[in-house]
Structure 1
Amino acid sequence: MLIRAATAADRAAIAEIIVPIIRAGESYALDRAMTAEQALAYWFAPGNSVFVAEVEGRVLGSYYCRANHAGGGGHVANCGYATQAQATGRGIARTMALHSFDHARAAGFRAMQFNFVVASNVRAVWLWLSLGFEQVGRLPGAFEHPSLGEVDALVLYRSL
């Protein structure tokens, strides 16, 4: 698996990954009706470093990394990750996560924080906890899941 910086040529492949995830409405607190262009604008927002996970020349995952906040919070990174639905369970998210830790350290970040991890996304929660994140907060009923109703969102944090 190759993790590399995303290029303009990767935009369509990234859209194919992130748009269905956004539309499902189960893990990102984003407007489910976002167009592909809006989703890509979010993923490639100014200040985001964007990467893709490539297997045999095919983009199967992507992540972005950015500062969680400006000013006094600028030393803490925040990332978003997405894996092609058909490629789950192949270690792509874990590989991207480990890459993101190295990237964030090299960019001068000293910690990483995820502000809004949907508690019902058990695979993601398990992955982050297994990689050393601590749950430092719980937001009761903060996420409106399309089939489960109100579910908690977690705040996860780890030093780099």
Structure 2
Amino acid sequence: MPLIRPYQPQDWPALWPLLHAVFSAGDTYAYAPDSSEAEIHKAWIEGPEATFVVVDDEGKLLGSYGLKPNQPGLGGHVCNCGYLVDPEARGQGLASLMCEHSQHEALRRGYRAMQFNLVVSTNVGAVRLWQKLGFEIVGTLPGAFKHKSLGYVDAHVMFKTLEP
């Protein structure tokens, strides 16, 4: 059974290759495909309020997510998350597990809603999953994502209220 726990510095040697592989693909995240290890560490580990990892029974890292305020100050009650699953571990429900965990964690931390700012429209699996988990597309940004192989494609803003 996979375990979600807070990120620890000793996780970095296993996490960095996963982050690098996904970001360099240039098809789901807005990070530059040639982002350096230091840039990604800052964005994924230092920037978020909290970063979590998913590990299997043997301790192998299978995925990660970060949670942070979507905006400062008066918009700080809405959080934002980014999720990453090892390509070899896809199809095991890990993204669902992390998203559900992040919603509970967000409520625990006092957030009232969660917003995804740039869900690439061609990432149909993610769009379908987030909708299944209660997120709505509240806007579509025409050509807002420069897909590495498809060029400019639309991106969705997705939103879910966590607390009435």
Q: Indicate the residue corresponding to 2:129 in structure 1.
A: 127
Say whether 1:25 aligns with 2:15. Answer: no
Instruction: Report the residue type matching 2:80 in the other structure.
Output: N
Q: Indicate the residue corresponding to 1:81 in structure 2.
A: 83
Q: 2:158 pairs with 148, 152, 156, which one?
A: 156
Separation (CA, whole Å) in 2 of partners of 1:124 and 1:107: 25
Per-residue CA shift, 1:48-68, capped at 9, x if unaligned?
A: 300000112111000000000
Deviation at 1:37? 2.3
Q: Once superposed, what is the RMSD of the aligned Cα atoms?
A: 0.9
Q: Which runs of 4+ in 1 moved over 3 A?
A: none
| 1:1-160 equivalences in 2 (<5 Å) | 1-56=2-57, 57-160=59-162
Separation (CA, whole Å) in 1 of partners of 2:35 and 2:47: 18
Per-residue CA shift, 1:59-110, capped at 9, x if unaligned?
A: 1000000000011100001000000011111111110011000000000000
Separation (CA, whole Å) in 1 of partners of 2:157 and 2:116: 6
Give the 3 Å change call, closer, same or farther, for CA 145–38 of structure 1 in structure 2. same
My pick for the range that moved more, 30-39 or 49-58, is 30-39
Q: Could you tell me the TM-score, scaled by structure 2's length?
A: 0.95
> Runs of 5+ in structure 2 lacking a partner?
none
Count how many residue pairs are aligned between Structure 1 and Structure 2.
160
Task: Say whether the 8 Å CA contact 2:44–2:66 is kept in structure 1.
Answer: yes
Separation (CA, whole Å) in 1 of partners of 2:146 and 2:48: 28
Give the 3 Å change call, closer, same or farther, for CA 24–46 of structure 1 in structure 2. closer
Identity %: 44
Deviation at 1:12? 1.4
3-state SS of 2:153 partner? strand
Deviation at 1:47? 4.2
